[in-house]
Amino acid sequence: MNQTVDSHKTVRVFVVVPPRTLLLDVAGPIEVLRKANLEQSEVQFEVTFIGSSQTVLSSIGLTIANIEPLPENLPDGALVVISGSADVPLGGVGNSREEDNVLEAQIVSWMRRAIRPGIRLVSICSGALLAARAGLLDGYACTTHHLAIDELNRLAPTSRVLQNRLFVEDRDRLTSAGITSGIDLMLHIVAEIAGHALALSIARYLVVYLRRSGGDPQLSPWLEGRNHMHPVVHRAQDAIAENPAASWSVEKLADISGASPRNLSRLFNEHAHMSVTDYANRLKVSLAREMLLNSALDMENIAQRAGFASTRQFRRVWERIYDAPPSRMRMLAAAIDSY
């Protein structure tokens, strides 16, 4: 994961609004981008809502208007976000199923033409079904809402459909599970493009820590231990996340968070369910893992840049978290990339 932020970069985002669109599928992820634009200026997300109809009745009965036509071409590096749909909007009023089928078919046909290498496709909830109908998930690992898993398997028989995942990233295809997991996926994208500190700030604003489960296989190490609302612990965690390679003592973090060292240690164990040192080391390992997978740096340089005193300490801490040693993980990642 590349944490280098280009100066004043603009990311074009095209949000496909299908008939009977699940409003939360659109509002949740795009709220992440709105907040990202407000909190910094280095990366701006330019959002355009597109579809096969200028107006769409959403899942809650609210009409979405001023939807732009599906563009003939997409710019390089664009992000295309496709929302899921509700079976029946609130109130049961809307187009006939036949009319909606025609509009959906137009979207599928457009996606098949417009999505090319260099375009990242993001599906929210059952939006993966439209992507599958366009043949855009063939040969990819993907996921969708648990109620649509069987349908996705039917529509994309050559894909690898994964269950019990918040989201799945496979090259330029990013798919998310049920509804609010679109927020988690967009936070992941923001972290990739604009840095973990920004994503963490937005996550706190959206209070998504409260939805997190420690058993979630897609739980980001940058959000692990944040499933609480204690401001003292969050202040210390924010400081570590902004510079994980720094040397963080309990005393230094106590000064930052406004607690005594003893009280901070107690609060960390109570709310983050790990010690201050364990938390700091986990973020160092996460930083090291990104360098391991995205650079050619040797272990000594990775250990140093991640803030470990030695390669030996790096390996010792690493092996408390991962089963495979760092060299093995790099080798496996290289094999997957070459597949």
CATH of the domain at 323: 1.10.10.60
Q: Which of 234, 280, 228, 226 is nearest to 258 (CA)?
A: 234
Q: How far apart are CA 176 and CA 167, in angstroms?
A: 4
* Mean pLDDT in residue range 154-178: 90
Whether the predicted pLDDT of 283 surpasses 70: yes
Give CA separation, 111 vs 66, 105, 108, 301, in Å: 20, 10, 5, 43
Residues 186 and 239 in one domain: no
- On whether the CB atoms of residues 156 and 138 are closer than 8 A, the answer is yes
CB 175 within 8 A of CB 142: yes
Co-location of 175 and 28 in the same domain = yes
Residue showing tokens 């609210």: 62
Q: Work out the pLDDT band at 142, boundaries 50, 70, 90.
A: very high
User: Which helix or strand (DSSP H or E) is residue 104 part of?
Assistant: helix 97-114
Query: Is the residue at 55 inside a domain?
Result: yes
323 assigned to some structural domain? yes
Residue 151: pLDDT band (50, 70, 90) is: very high
CA distance 302 to 319: 15
Residue 333, pLDDT score? 64
Q: What is the mean pLDDT of residues 266-293?
A: 92
State how many domains the chain has.
2
Task: Examine residue 34 and state whether it is found in any structural domain, yes or no.
Answer: yes
d(CA 238, CA 141) in angstroms, rounded, equals 33
Q: Is the pLDDT of residue 3 over 80?
A: no
Query: How many helices and strands, by DSSP H and E, does the chain display?
Result: 13, 11
Decide if 278 is inside a domain: yes
The residue-averaged pLDDT of 151-156 equals 95
Q: Quick check: 239 pLDDT over 60?
A: yes
pLDDT of residue 181: 87
The stretch 243-248 carries a mean pLDDT of 94
pLDDT band at 295 (very low <50, low <70, confident <90, very high): confident
**Same domain assignment for residues 165 and 72:** yes
- The mean per-residue pLDDT over the stretch 104-114 comes to 96
Give the angle subtended at the CA of 168 by the CAs of 162 and 174, to the nearest 5°. Answer: 130
Say whether pLDDT at 339 is over 80. no
105 lies in the same domain as 148: yes
Which of 170, 146, 148, 167 lies closest to 159 in space, CA to CA?
170
Half-sphere exposure of 1 (CA within 13 A, CB side): 18
Please tell me which residue, 95 or 299, carries the higher pLDDT value. Answer: 299
Does 145 map to a domain? yes
| CATH at 134 | 3.40.50.880
Q: Do residue 233 and residue 307 come from a single domain?
A: yes
Backbone angles phi, psi at 85, to 5 degrees: -130, 155
- pLDDT greater than 60 at residue 2: no
Coil, helix or strand at residue 69: strand
Task: Name the residue range of residue 143's domain.
Answer: 9-194
Alpha-carbon span 73 to 281, nearest angstrom: 46
My answer on whether 63 and 188 are in the same domain is yes
Residue 213 placed within a domain? no
* 180 and 263 assigned to the same domain: no
What does the pLDDT look like over 6-47, one tens digit per residue?
468 999 999 999 999 999 999 999 999 999 999 999 999 999
Tell me, yes or no, whether 214 lies in a domain.
Answer: no
The predicted model gives 78-102 an average pLDDT of: 85
